[in-house]
């Protein structure tokens, strides 16, 4: 059993100035997203269309997978289906090893985090270089991402300056973002030129074309994929869309919702290997089929990984991305994996405020899915925070008008006689808030006295 | 209209003045209002933690109490309790009468805005208030248009009601973010919850208002707790107090 989420946030939450800085950085993304969304009067219709399109995909996966695969093969690509993380990693390793590849440059992919690809390849003696700037920073720090779109959002530029000074030889004390970015680019350029294989993720896989879209802001995916003679693209099977129009709809929403840009800077559609080169696609299930079989869990696979739910989440912003057990933080992470009994407090790292639902471009019912995980954990008696013990008792007391009245009266009287100085030491609620000053009588009592029955 | 009051347990025991303001206000507006004894919790405490089975007895007892007196509408001065009562009467009970009861439970704002629109002349009140648009009312009941949505004509039902009070100045915090209450979240996740409540109070204070006014007593309790702890010069009140005062 991992530590509770409440325990895990303690260190991060203790530095209030840093919490405010972190929260403001993410709110800036949310504000930019709002501006971009509001620049399209038809935004809400687009959300509805995108949601329905992704529901169509989830309910027609077998046909679409076969269609995509045969069209890709007709276009000269090789397609591999992987049942789980292990199979995925073995496929990738064998493609690389059979061709004697030693150095892989990869663009950002949450899937490779999910299946722990990099450690697997390193075991096989293959060097892996992250080429997304944020991911590269974290690779140098040997730290996991704290966000799915802006993975190093928890770091300040001064901390990155120190890291670069130590790892890539920038001037001591330098923290100017332009200077640091240029230095990273110089260092990265050497990696691109010496790599003999490239890996990208997939943002949308277009079934009727046998092609796929990769969106980046840094052009790193393109730089990687266009130099060596081998490109491996990896994707979760939910990345499918039926056609190019569907991909275009998502492309209009993805960057707007993620970072408040009208579009990512680089949008490449890969439809065939370059002459003399190989292009492989690995499609992964890794538990997706099982989750999709549960109607109340399935819609998480509409997600296009824009991260907007994370940016708007008031809990994430104040607790940081490393406070979660699952590698994807925030609402979408909780909606995917909040049913894990080993990290049973995760589903409670949420106030059910529903802001995430409203920003989601494909209308994933995040709030309802998180609530569903709580129901499942309750049924398995795997509740966190002592709820296994007190919830049945609460149910009994609250279920009886007399019991409820007696219990509430006891609390009321208790708070009336207990000195405030002691109330403030109770903890929990009273760590940062006073209890209310309770009245002498309840409304029910007053009504009986003054209005009769 | 013939109205049955649903007074949630927190209001009944900790904020009876909200119940009295609601009762008096509805009576002044010409409605026949009754209150039946024996009302329990909407079940939210349990269902918010996924404990559906543990909530059933409470929800059934509440349904029984509310059915004692025939009425046209059930009105409650607490948004999240209305959301839970409706949802739980539907999903946790199989009694037909409970299901039709669920359909006529209204939160006070929506009742005064949509069901029996407030059209009484109101007395002037010189005061600056900051609206606390709590999440369940905002995003589940649609008492306002949440900031995330792209809507040509945003609505705010609480503002619409209060703007009928002459001389009242209405402000809003810069964000409609959650105040951090979240039921047991306020205890389980005390650090994050406390920080959210503090941030929300600061946002209200920055509007220059004298009072935070809202429709959800539980959120107001959390904000009031911060105001009290920090000695912040802000009143925290349910909007029924304002309306009752000027009606």
The position carrying tokens 């569907």 is A246
Contact (Cβ atoms closer than 8 angstroms) between residue A54 and residue A302: yes
Residues B104 and B138 in one domain: no
Domain carrying residue B60:
2-115
DSSP secondary structure of B40-75:
---SHHHHTTT-HHHHHHHHHHHHHHHHTS--SEEE
Instruction: Give the helix/strand (H/E) hosting A357.
Output: helix A355-359
- Domain definitions of chain A by residue range: 40-155+196-289, 300-379, 400-451
Dihedral sign from CA coordinates of B99, B105, B110, B114: positive
pLDDT tens digits for range A6-30: 999 999 999 999 999 999 999 999 9
Task: Please tell me the total number of residues recorded for chain A in this structure.
Answer: 453
- Of B83, B115, B147, the position where a domain reaches its end is B115
Interface test with B, best of A32, A376, A399 (most B CBs within 10 A): A399
d(CA B12, CA A86): 57
The pLDDT score that the predictor gives to residue A59 is 96
CATH 3.30.360.10 fits domain A300-379: no
d(CA A363, CA B156): 23
User: Which candidate from A349, A391, A453 shows the least CB-CB separation from B51?
Assistant: A391
Q: What is the mean pLDDT of residues A383-401?
A: 96
- Residue A107: φ, ψ to 5°: -90, 175
Confidence label for A453 from pLDDT (cuts 50, 70 and 90): low
| Helix orientation angle between A133-141 and A157-168, rounded to the nearest 10 degrees | 70
Interface test with B, best of A317, A443, A448 (most B CBs within 10 A): A443
Alpha helix ranges (H) inside A115-243: 117-123, 133-141, 157-168, 177-194, 220-226
Would you say residue A450 has pLDDT above 90?
Answer: yes
| Window from A335-339, A449-453, B102-106, B179-183 with minimum mean pLDDT | A449-453
Residues B172 and B139 in one domain: yes
Residues B88 and B164 in one domain: no
Q: Within chain B, what is the greatest distance between any pair of CA atoms?
A: 49
- Name the minimum distance, in Å, from the CA of A444 to any CA of chain B: 6
Report CB contact under 8 Å: A442, B13.
yes
Report CB contact under 8 Å: A314, B180.
yes
- What residue in A sits closest to B23 (Cα-Cα)? A447
Indicate the SS3 state at residue A373: helix
Q: The domain spanning residue B142 has which CATH number?
A: 3.40.50.1860
Q: What percent of chain B has pLDDT over 90?
A: 100
pLDDT tens digits for range A60-101: 999 999 999 999 999 999 999 999 999 999 999 999 999 999
Name residues of chain B where pLDDT drops below 70. Answer: none
At the topology level of CATH, where does A40-155+196-289 sit? Rossmann fold (3.40.50)
Residues B98 and B196 in one domain: no
Is B172 within a domain?
yes
Would you say residue A339 has pLDDT above 60?
Answer: yes
Indicate the SS3 state at residue A234: strand
Contact list in A for residue B189 (CB cut-off 8 A) is 5-6, 9, 315, 348-349
Confidence label for A2 from pLDDT (cuts 50, 70 and 90): confident
Would you say residue A294 has pLDDT above 70?
Answer: yes
The position carrying tokens 């995980």 is A373
The pLDDT score that the predictor gives to residue A172 is 96
Report CB contact under 8 Å: A395, B180.
no
- Of B53, B83, B115, the position where a domain reaches its end is B115
Residues B152 and B103 in one domain: no
Report CB contact under 8 Å: B52, A375.
yes
Interface test with A, best of B46, B51, B67 (most A CBs within 10 A): B51
Report CB contact under 8 Å: B16, A446.
yes
- What residue in A sits closest to B68 (Cα-Cα)? A453
Q: What is the mean pLDDT of residues A301-324?
A: 98
How wide is the angle at C-alpha A337 spanned by C-alphas A333 and A341, nearest 5°? 135
Residues B100 and B150 in one domain: no
From residue B82, alpha-carbon distances to A328, A364, B71, B153 in Å are: 33, 24, 17, 25
pLDDT tens digits for range A218-253: 999 999 999 999 999 999 999 999 999 999 999 999
d(CA A436, CA B225): 7
Would you say residue A196 has pLDDT above 80?
Answer: yes
The pLDDT score that the predictor gives to residue A452 is 78
* Domain tally, chain B: 2
Cβ-defined contacts of B227-235 (< 8 Å, 24+)? B227/B201, B228/A433, B228/A434, B229/A424, B229/A432, B229/A433, B229/A434, B230/B198, B230/B201, B232/B201, B232/B205, B234/B201, B234/B204, B234/B205, B234/B209, B234/B210, B235/B210, B235/B211
User: Which candidate from B38, B54, B198 shows the least CB-CB separation from A391?
Assistant: B54
Dihedral sign from CA coordinates of B189, B195, B199, B202: positive
Is B58 within a domain?
yes
């Amino acid at each position: 059993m991992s530590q509770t989420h409440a325990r895990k946030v303690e260190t991060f939450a203790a530095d209030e100035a840093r919490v405010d800085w972190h929260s403001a950085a993410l709110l800036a993304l949310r504000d930019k997203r709002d501006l971009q969304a509001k620049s399209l009067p038809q935004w809400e219709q687009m959300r509805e269309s995108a949601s329905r399109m992704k529901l169509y995909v989830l309910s027609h996966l077998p046909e679409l997978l076969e269609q995509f695969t045969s069209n890709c093969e007709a276009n000269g690509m090789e397609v591999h289906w992987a049942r789980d993380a292990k199979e995925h990693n073995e496929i990738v390793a064998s493609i690389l090893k059979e061709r004697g590849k030693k150095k892989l440059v990869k663009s950002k992919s949450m899937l490779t985090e999910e299946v722990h690809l990099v450690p697997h390849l390193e075991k096989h003696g293959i060097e892996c270089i992250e080429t997304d700037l944020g991911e590269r920073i974290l690779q140098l720090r040997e730290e996991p991402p704290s966000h799915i779109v802006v993975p190093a959002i928890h770091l300040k530029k001064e901390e990155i300056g120190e890291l670069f000074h130590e790892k890539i030889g920038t001037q001591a004390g330098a923290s100017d973002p332009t200077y640091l970015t240029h230095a990273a680019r110089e260092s990265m350029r050497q990696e691109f030129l010496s790599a003999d294989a490239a890996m990208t993720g997939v943002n949308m896989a277009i079934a009727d074309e046998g092609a796929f879209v990769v969106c980046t802001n840094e052009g790193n995916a393109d730089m990687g994929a266009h130099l060596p003679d081998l490109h491996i693209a990896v994707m979760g099977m939910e990345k499918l869309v039926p056609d190019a129009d569907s991909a275009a709809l998502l492309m209009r929403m993805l960057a707007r919702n993620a970072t408040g840009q009208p579009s990512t800077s680089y949008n490449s559609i890969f439809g065939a290997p370059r002459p003399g080169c190989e292009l492989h696609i690995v499609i992964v299930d890794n538990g997706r089929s099982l989750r999709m079989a549960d109607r109340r869990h399935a819609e998480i696979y509409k997600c296009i990984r824009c991260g907007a739910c994370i940016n708007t989440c008031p809990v994430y912003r104040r607790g940081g991305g490393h406070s979660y057990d699952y590698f994807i933080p925030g609402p979408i992470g909780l909606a995917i994996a909040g049913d894990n009994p080993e990290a049973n407090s995760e589903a409670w790292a949420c106030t059910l405020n529903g802001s995430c639902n409203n920003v989601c471009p494909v209308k994933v019912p995040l709030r309802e899915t998180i609530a569903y995980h709580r129901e499942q954990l309750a049924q398995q008696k795997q509740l966190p925070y002592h709820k296994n013990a007190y919830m049945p008792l609460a149910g009994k007391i609250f279920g009886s008008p007399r019991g409820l009245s007696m219990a509430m009266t006891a609390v009321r009287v208790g708070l009336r006689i207990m000195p405030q100085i002691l109330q403030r030491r109770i903890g929990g609620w009273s760590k940062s808030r006073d209890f209310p000053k309770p009245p002498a009588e309840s409304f029910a009592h007053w009504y009986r006295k003054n209005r009769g029955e | 209209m013939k109205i049955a009051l649903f007074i949630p347990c927190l209001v009944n025991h900790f904020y009876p003045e909200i119940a009295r303001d609601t009762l008096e206000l509805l009576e002044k507006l010409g409605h026949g209002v009754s209150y039946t004894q024996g009302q329990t919790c909407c079940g939210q405490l349990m269902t918010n933690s996924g404990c559906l089975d543990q909530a059933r007895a409470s929800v059934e007892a509440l349904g029984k109490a509310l059915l004692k007196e025939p009425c046209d509408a059930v009105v409650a001065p607490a948004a999240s309790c209305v959301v839970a009562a409706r949802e739980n009467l539907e999903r946790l009970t199989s009694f037909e009468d409970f299901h039709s009861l669920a359909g006529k439970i209204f939160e006070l704002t929506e009742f005064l805005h949509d069901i029996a629109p407030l059209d009484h002349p109101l007395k002037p009140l010189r005061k600056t208030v900051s609206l606390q648009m709590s999440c369940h009312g905002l995003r589940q009941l649609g008492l306002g248009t949440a900031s995330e949505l792209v809507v040509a004509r945003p609505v705010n039902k609480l503002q619409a009601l209060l703007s009928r009070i002459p001389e009242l100045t209405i402000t809003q915090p810069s964000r409609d973010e959650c105040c951090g209450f979240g039921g047991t979240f306020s205890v389980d996740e005390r650090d994050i919850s406390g920080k959210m409540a503090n941030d929300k109070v600061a946002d209200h204070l920055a509007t220059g208002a004298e009072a935070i006014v809202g429709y959800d007593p539980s959120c107001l309790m959390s904000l009031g707790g911060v105001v009290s702890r920090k000695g912040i010069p802000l009143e925290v009140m349910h909007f029924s107090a304002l309306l009752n005062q000027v009606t």
